[in-house]
Amino acid sequence: MVKFSEKLPKNFPLLRMRRNRMRTFSRKIVAENNLNVDNLIQPLFVTEGKNENTFIESMPGIKRHSIDSIVNEAKEIESLGIPAIAIFPNINNKLKDAIGSEALNENNIICKTIKAIKKECPNLGLICDVALDPYTDHGHDGIIHNNEVDNDETIKILCEQAIVQAKAGCDIIAPSDMMDGRVKKIRTALDSHNFINTIILAYSSKYASAFYGPFRNAVGSKINQSKISKNSYQMDPSNSREAMREIELDINEGADIILIKPAISYLDIIKSAYENYNVPIFAYQVSGEYSMIKAAANNNWVNEKDTVYESLISIKRAGATSILTYFAKSVAKNLKEGLYN
């Protein structure tokens, strides 16, 4: 009886794809994409109070920090080699109004936070959100007129907000409101105040996503205007070509970096942007994406370390330059300890 192996060609198979996967060193040297600490940006939440660092129930392991607490957090983040943080405010409801006027207060919680962090961590990049939803009593990103968010009136406030943040020392202004034409107006406003080197990170493709729930809880921006939907200004999840139009418009208006949000459910958008535009592309692994992984890990349904890495490398593989992720700090520690081999 002839053995099966004797029927095969002597050198079968000539090409063995598994050769490069066999050992750790060879997997490393042929890796098409790598996750580096330089690719990570840590979002942080700041609130009033002293030594405040209360956990956010809907985002396990994530806290709202007081200024002194967030400064300590920033120091640790910088020591891990993470190059930048994005800060978001949770303000007292008494400070909120219909037009988000607290956003223009040069002594508001964000401005005080910028100054405090820059004093201790001058080389850490600070990204500040330009939008009104944390400051409005209705929870929308702009000014409401005639039962809709008024695009042009909102932009006027956003330009002032951007100037206030730049004066405080913000490095990257990040308009996340999705108003039409706001990038050009903000660029012009910054330049006219001699902030010509302040970077604009445009939330170019921000989808009207169900994954934002935990974030809205974290900043206290629950929508109180049921007649108006964020669908009226954020992007429809069913559209992809429209995202390319949004990105192109923002680039033409002067955006230095574009951002796509959420990340995991929109890898095709990141990929298309990478293939079509020669600009840095950031992706935001948002609160709901974070909390889903955390919940599964806390129930021992998935391995957190490996699942987080796989989710982030998929975002890099799609074409993202850097990733805003609530896992940034833990991933940086794992990278430092070589736990992703």
Instruction: Please list the active-site residues.
Output: 206, 261
- The bridge status of strand 63-65 relative to strand 144-145 is unpaired
Instruction: Report whether 141 contacts 230 (CB < 8 A).
Output: yes
d(CA 186, CA 129): 13
Q: What share of the chain is helix, strand, coil (3-state, %, to 5)?
A: 45, 20, 35
Helices 267-276, 304-318: inter-axial angle, 10-degree rounding: 30
State CA 25 to chain mean position distance. Answer: 32
Give pairs for 109-114: CB < 8 Å, separation 24+: 109/46, 109/47, 109/48, 109/67, 110/46, 110/165, 110/168, 111/164, 111/165, 111/167, 111/168, 112/67, 113/46, 113/67, 113/70, 113/87, 113/89, 114/87, 114/165, 114/168, 114/169, 114/170
Name the residue among 240, 281, 241, 276 with its Cα closest to residue 260: 281
Both tokens of 158, joined, read 């956003």
Most distant CA pair in the chain: distance in Å? 89
Both tokens of 148, joined, read 């809709």
State CA 27 to chain mean position distance. Answer: 29
d(CA 208, CA 231): 6
Both tokens of 147, joined, read 């039962």
Element (H, E) at 235: none
Element (H, E) at 154: helix 151-168
